[in-house]
Each structure stands twice: as structure tokens, then as C-alpha cells.
Structure 1
């Protein structure tokens, strides 16, 4: 009698591995970045010069500060209510809890790290620690929470608008002189880690929407263009154009990559 080979059973470990890898890499990069920009003179020097590479006139500064004024505890509450409403409308209480966990966890982590655990050694920068950025965390954590709670039909809009908002907020904090570029990247990594962790607990297949890898960069580029339009310029004219472009491009890249990876880790349902 011919032996019958059983058909392979589809594995469910793939999505969990993706989420675990994203979570682990986010934490590793976050730890390395914090060490480099806070504990080494070279990192401090590079971070400081990056922050002062872009400048804005008085009117642009006022515009930037007014934009940052919308990023507050009230904004967190509004996003939380929207997430809960979206999740409950779909009958998914677990999604509401996970979205709230991302919002609360990322923002609390940022404040604990900045004000309690991390310190800047004496070196190039003589100033209190500003790593990571609280304003950027509010926005990027909100994007992660919305991606978890929103139905798939709305997620492309969340990715596009979220990438735009994260880039605009993060770059604005740099232009305003509130934060260095590393502070912005650190915030993205924290929110990404929390989103991946929440998705890991939720389980289920990942959302493989490839459009996110297009819409996220588009949103980031649009934010960069908006900053240039309102008057953000290199500090040293054309001689400083390269450094300013690298700084704004780096902020935009971290925002786009962070939002796209969030989309990649959240459950497909």
C-alpha cells in the first residue's frame, strides 16, 4: 500500500516572528542611539550640529510653534476616544485595549526615560536631557493606536496622514530648537516597539498591505515640502544645504519607516 504523506499544516508562527523581530530591533536601536547621543562626546557633537543646521524666520517660528501647540494631553484624549469608538464599532474590545496600551505605554515610557532614567554625560552639550521627544511620541503613538483600531479600509489614510503628521511634528521640534534629531528618532522607535508588542499579544495575521511602503514615504515627503514652503531653510545658506537636507531627510525617513513597519505588524482584521 502506498504511504500517504500528510499535507503540511500552515504555520501561524510567521506573524509572531515578524512582530518579535520588529520589537527586538526597535529596542536594540533605541538603546544604541541613546548611548551614542547621550554618553559619547562624538554623538553629542553630531546631534547638536544637526539641530542647528536648519533655521526659520520669526513668522515661520510662530507657525511651527502654533502647530506644536496642538500636540497636547487633549490630543491624546481625542485620539484615545477615536480609537475606542472605532474598535467598539467593530465589536473588537481587544483592539480598543491594545490601542490604549500603545498610547499610554509609549507616552509614559518617553517621560520615564527622559526625566528619570537617561542622563547626558558632561561633554559637548551642557543641557538637561531631551531624549526622547514627548511631542513626537504623542503623534507617532497616536498613529500606532489608530492603525490597530481602524478597519483595513481606513488604514491607507492613517499611514499617509500619520507619516505626514509625525514628520511635520518631529521636524518642527528640531526647527524650534526644542529637540535634536535623535530625540525624534527615539520617539518613533518607542512607539514602534509598543505597537509591535501590542500586535504580538493580539496575534492574528499581519496586514501585508504593500501600499504602505509607498504612502508612508509620500506623507513624509509632503511634510518636508510643507516645511520648506513655510520658510524652513539651511542655517548657513547653500554651504549648509547638504547637512540640513540630511537632517530633514533623516527625520522624514525615520517617520516613514516607523509608520510603514507599524502597518506591517498590526493585525489584518
Structure 2
């Protein structure tokens, strides 16, 4: 039985509900602050551009990265949606199926609306169209959130491990390809986390308190970083730029791992 927190009028508010509300609010505030910094300030724009340019790839690696990104498409969204429906409906959990579909649709649609309609890059600093948040990263991160809501509890650590790997590979690849800045990747993951948390709020079930995700997610993200290095991703300025490139990829991987571990935490058992 869930422990509960007493409300202001004597009602008992489930702690799981409070946790999800705090995560959702914190995610929204973080997203807005990040968007303002990297889109509206000169320092943010220049820092973001410098971070993107700190990592490079040779021609063969660049082609490999582009081929990987080619798998992230509408078809992959449909495939994940079908998997979620099968996983939930076969167990009689129609609400979980709806929640997973809400995450997939809501995250991807909101990312496109935010990027192309709502958010604008301030002119006069870095002359480039707005790319915040990343659509490719949203597709993968939202898929992870949907699967965490749909999968039975024993499979969720595997979803976390594979999801952290796939999201890090996708997000970092968009940076290496020059499609997106690191902030675009972080923004996309925040969008997916927000929708996953909102869907979990609607389900109103207890959260998954297993702590394994906090150990598994960093492993998946780190493995993606190793693969990127193996296939040829390098610092832009040789060993003199190693620290900058390592910090950029490390921060992106750490944010992704933390976000996916939080998705697991808020997901309903």
C-alpha cells in the first residue's frame, strides 16, 4: 500500500502523485530556462555552437552516422506504437496502451510545433534557423518512455538499457552530423520526459521504485559513447580539444541517462 501525504483539507495525496507532479513541473521549468538561454542570449548561442563544433567525424564515420539516423523515421514510431499495443492489450491493460500512444503522439507533435512555430532563435548572434528541440532524438526518447509505460515490470530494465543506448547514439549522432546542437538533444529528451510523466499521471498507478534504472541507464549511455569513438568520432582539434569534446558528449550522455532513469521511476507498475 502506497504511503501518502496529508493534503491541506485532510485529504491524503498519494506520494507517487506528488512525485510525478514535481518531475513534470521541474522538467517544464528546465526546458523553458534552457530554451531561453540557448535561443535568446548571445552567450548561450555561442556556447551551444562551440559545443557542437567540438566533435567531428571523418567521411566514412559521417556516412555511418547518417545511415544510423536514417532508421529514425515515422515507420519507427509506428513500430513502437504497435509493440506497445501488443504488450498492453495482451495483458488487458488498455489504459497503459492509451498512455503509451499519448506519449508517442504528444512528444513528437509538440516538438515539431515548438521548433517550427513557437520557438525562435534571436537574430544577430549565431545566424542559423531554430533547431531546438531535436526531432530525431524526440522520436527515440518518446519511444523509450512509451515502452516503459507499456512493458511488464521484468522487461523494464532492458528497456532502460537499450533506450539509454539508442537515445544517446541518436542524440550524439545528430550533433556529430552537424544537424543539431547539444541543447537540441537535451530539449528533446526533456519533452519526452514531460510527456511520459504526464501520461503516468493520467494512469494514476504506483510508480516503479526499483533502483536498477539508475545503474543501468548510465551503462547504456556510456556504451553508446564507446561505440561512437570506435566508429571514428573524434575531437575537432586533436588531443588539444579532447576535454571539450569529452565534456560535450559526457554531459549529453549523462542527461539522457538521468532522464530515462526518471522515466522508469515515474512509470506505473
Q: Which range, TM-score by smaller chain? A: over 0.9
Question: Which residue number corresponds to residue 176 of structure 1?
Answer: 177
Residues 3, 15 of structure 2: 8 Å contact kept: no
In our comparison, the structure showing a higher alpha carbon Rg is: 1
1:10: Cα distance to partner?
4.3
1:125 partnered with 2:111: no
Alignment of 1:1-269 (within 5 A): 10-11=3-4, 13-268=14-269
Give the number of aligned pairs. Answer: 261
Cα distance in 2 for partners of 1:89, 1:53 equals 47
TM superposition outliers: structure 1 runs of 4+ over 6 Å: none
Spell out, residue by residue over 1:83-119, the C-alpha distance to the aligned partner (whole angstroms, 9 max, x if none): 0110101100000000000000000010000000000
Cα distance in 1 for partners of 2:37, 2:86 equals 41
Spell out, residue by residue over 1:101-151, the C-alpha distance to the aligned partner (whole angstroms, 9 max, x if none): 000000001000000000001133111100000000000000000000000
Cα distance in 2 for partners of 1:149, 1:10 equals 24
Cα distance in 2 for partners of 1:186, 1:165 equals 16
Residues 185, 251 of structure 1: 8 Å contact kept: yes
Gaps of 5+ in 1: 1-8
Cα distance in 1 for partners of 2:244, 2:39 equals 21
Cα distance in 1 for partners of 2:61, 2:252 equals 19
Residues 172, 249 of structure 2: 8 Å contact kept: yes
Cα distance in 2 for partners of 1:132, 1:60 equals 24
Decide whether aligned partners of structure 1 residues 43 and 10 sit closer, same or farther in structure 2, where only a CA change above 3 A counts.
Answer: closer
Spell out, residue by residue over 1:50-102, the C-alpha distance to the aligned partner (whole angstroms, 9 max, x if none): 00000000000000000000000000000000001101011000000000000
Cα distance in 2 for partners of 1:96, 1:267 equals 12
Cα distance in 1 for partners of 2:215, 2:90 equals 29
Decide whether aligned partners of structure 1 residues 175 and 91 sit closer, same or farther in structure 2, where only a CA change above 3 A counts.
Answer: same
Cα distance in 2 for partners of 1:124, 1:248 equals 24
Q: Which secondary structure state, in structure 2, belongs to the residue aligned with residue 153 of structure 1?
A: helix
Residues 161, 217 of structure 2: 8 Å contact kept: yes
TM-score by length of 1: 0.96
Residues 44, 123 of structure 1: 8 Å contact kept: no
Cα distance in 2 for partners of 1:91, 1:83 equals 12
Gaps of 5+ in 2: 5-12
RMSD: 1.1
